[in-house]
Amino acid sequence: MTTTNYNRHGVLLVNLGTPEAPTAAGVRAFLKEFLSDPRVVDLNPLLWKPILYGIILNVRPAKVAKAYQSIWTEQGSPLMNVSKLQHQALTSKLKELTGEDIPVELGMTYGTPSLNDGVKRLEAQGVDKIVVLPLYPQYSCSTVAPVSDGLAKAMLSRRNVPELRMIKEYHADEHYIACLAESVNKHWAEHGQADKLVLSFHGVPQRYVDEGDPYQEQCLATGQALADKLELSPEQWQLCFQSRFGKEPWLQPYTDETVSAMPEQGIKSIDIICPAFSADCLETLEEIAEEVRDEFMEAGGESYRYIPCLNDDDGHIEMMAKLVLGQLKGF
Ligand SMILES: C=CC1=C(C)c2cc3[nH]c(cc4nc(cc5[nH]c(cc1n2)c(C)c5CCC(=O)O)C(CCC(=O)O)=C4C)c(C)c3C=C
Ligand SMILES: [Fe+2]
Ligand SMILES: [Fe+2]
């Protein structure tokens, strides 16, 4: 137990955000804010706005609302449900590790509670030194940079700004890799080991990486570190990228094509995990656990098992606490 006094310190736990309701209107409002961010879609606004308002926001919400309906729970969107559990668990874990009540608040880059809502709640508890933890293990200009943009924007309305420290990424953090390995090992102990372990990361346009986004490099490093920890040979695992959006090339290989081609190559059973997601959400529960599964089975696959995200697993929460405590030193 430390003796440091953390009475001015707090933690802002950040994730992407999610629609308020699994309806076309709810999804439209969310997509409008998300897809208007030039960090996410960086096309010239003169070109992009007519496509966004004329086509995407008219066609996509109804289709995507159906997908959300298939994963929605009584408590709401899985991403929000898990975020709330992570928030509670991290608060308790920090108390357990330091003996102090360190305020933790949630802030979403898009939707509610906003980043500004989270900062205001921390300020109301006397916090003026904030450790910001975006729950994206791998940095991307499309996920983490919008958090620093959103916070910078939130600071504009303040006379007295808090001090901020952001954990930019943790793609090679030993506790993160250990948690992933533990969740795979637990899954294998329960269900047995499939022919191949597939690591499916959210994709980004290839161009973002060509222009300096280190995301791909960090995904590859996470994948290799996990394979090393699990002592897998190269033919026992496959890394790929999911959730392609729009017409330009995204990071490859694409998850859907890669997985659908496997049965023909003699790979009839796979275990699939999504290490870029810290909480189960539409992209994991619907796209990976449902859509890609159907494609694999239709292509002749026999067994497809999705390994859930780390969510509020105790080891995952302890990893978050350790990242935060590392930043609190000397802050
Ligand atoms: C349009 C470009 C997109 C980029 C670039 C992108 C990067 C990116 N996203 C995540 C994490 C999540 N994305 C989620 C949903 C989602 N993502 C996009 C588009 C891009 N993502 C869209 C349009 C959507 C909404 C659903 C849809 O219309 O298909 C989610 C899930 C949110 C939920 O409510 O459950 C997450 C999480 C990462 C990590 C990333 C880059 C590394
Ligand atoms: Fe996304
Ligand atoms: Fe998707």
Longest dimension (CA), the chain: 64
Residue from 57, 136, 243, 280 whose mutation best tests the ligand 1 pocket (most atoms within 8 A of CB): 243
| pLDDT at residue 2, as a whole number | 46
- pLDDT tens profile 265-311: 999 999 999 999 999 999 999 999 999 999 999 999 999 999 999 99
Whether 32 lines ligand 1, by a CB cut-off of 6 Å, is: no
| Residue 49 counted as domain residue | yes
Total number of domains constituting the chain: 2
Q: Is residue 41 lining ligand 1, measured as CB closer than 6 Å? A: yes
pLDDT at 327 over 70: yes
Mean pLDDT within 147-166: 98
Q: In sequence order, which residues have a C-beta less than 8 Å from that of residue 224 and are 6 or more positions away?
A: none
Ligand found nearest the CA of 282: 1
pLDDT band at 171 (very low <50, low <70, confident <90, very high): very high
291 in a structural domain: yes
- The residues, any chain, with a CB within 8 Å of residue 4's CB and separated by 6 or more, are 98, 328, 329
Same domain, 63 and 185: no
For 273, phi then psi, to 5°, come to: -130, 150
- Gap from CA of 96 to ligand 1 centroid (Å): 34
Q: How far is the CA of 285 from the centre of ligand 3 (A)?
A: 10
* Residue 206 in domain: yes
The number of the ligand nearest the C-alpha atom of 15 reads 1
**Residue 222 per-residue DSSP state:** H
pLDDT band at 318 (very low <50, low <70, confident <90, very high): very high
Q: Report the CATH number at residue 261.
A: 3.40.50.1400
Q: Is the CB of 215 under 6 A from ligand 1?
A: yes
Q: Which domain holds residue 295?
A: 174-307
Q: Closest-lying ligand to the alpha carbon of 64?
A: 1
Rounded Cα distance between 6 and 167, Å, is 18
Is the pLDDT reported for residue 161 higher than 80? yes
From CA 230, how far away is CA 186, in angstroms rounded? 12
Q: What is the pLDDT of residue 7?
A: 86
What per-residue confidence (pLDDT) applies to 4?
Answer: 66
- Structural domain contains residue 278: yes
Establish whether residue 202 lines the binding site of ligand 1, counting it when its CB lies within 6 angstroms of any ligand atom: yes
The predicted complex's ipTM stands at 0.97
Query: Is 52 within the bounds of a domain?
Result: yes
CA 113 / ligand 1 centre spacing (Å): 18
Among the residues of 73-173, which ranges form H helices?
A: 78-98, 115-123, 145-155
207 inside domain:
yes
Which single residue is written with the structure tokens 């709330």?
84
Q: Output the CA 166–ligand 2 centroid distance in Å.
A: 21
Best residue among 20, 30, 71, 202 to mutate for probing ligand 1, ranked by most atoms within 8 Å of CB: 202
Q: Is residue 121 part of a domain?
A: no
Mean pLDDT for the stretch of residues 219-232: 98
Here the tokens at position 196 are 């191949």
109: CA distance to ligand 1 center in Å?
12
Name 289's Cβ contacts closer than 8 Å, sequence gap at least 6: 306
Distance 107 CA to ligand 3 centre (A): 22
Per DSSP, the three-state class of 200 is: strand
Query: Tell me, what's the pLDDT at 204?
Result: 98
CA angle at 296 for the pair 19 and 308, rounded to the nearest 5°: 45
Q: What percent of the chain has pLDDT over 90?
A: 97
**Is 12 within the bounds of a domain?**
no
Does 70 score more than 60 pLDDT?
yes
* pLDDT tens digits, 226-261: 999 999 999 999 999 999 999 999 999 999 999 999
Q: Which ligand is nearest to the CA of 31?
A: 1
Atom of ligand 1 nearest to the CA of 246: 1
pLDDT in tens, 111-155: 999 999 999 999 999 999 999 999 999 999 999 999 999 999 999
Average pLDDT over residues 39-44: 97
In the prediction, which pLDDT does 5 show?
81
138 CA: nearest ligand 1 atom: 42
**What residues have CB less than 8 Å from 23, skipping those under 6 apart?**
65
Tokens representing 265 are 């190559």
Q: Can you give the pLDDT at residue 233?
A: 98
Residue with the smallest CA separation from ligand 1 atom 10 is 202
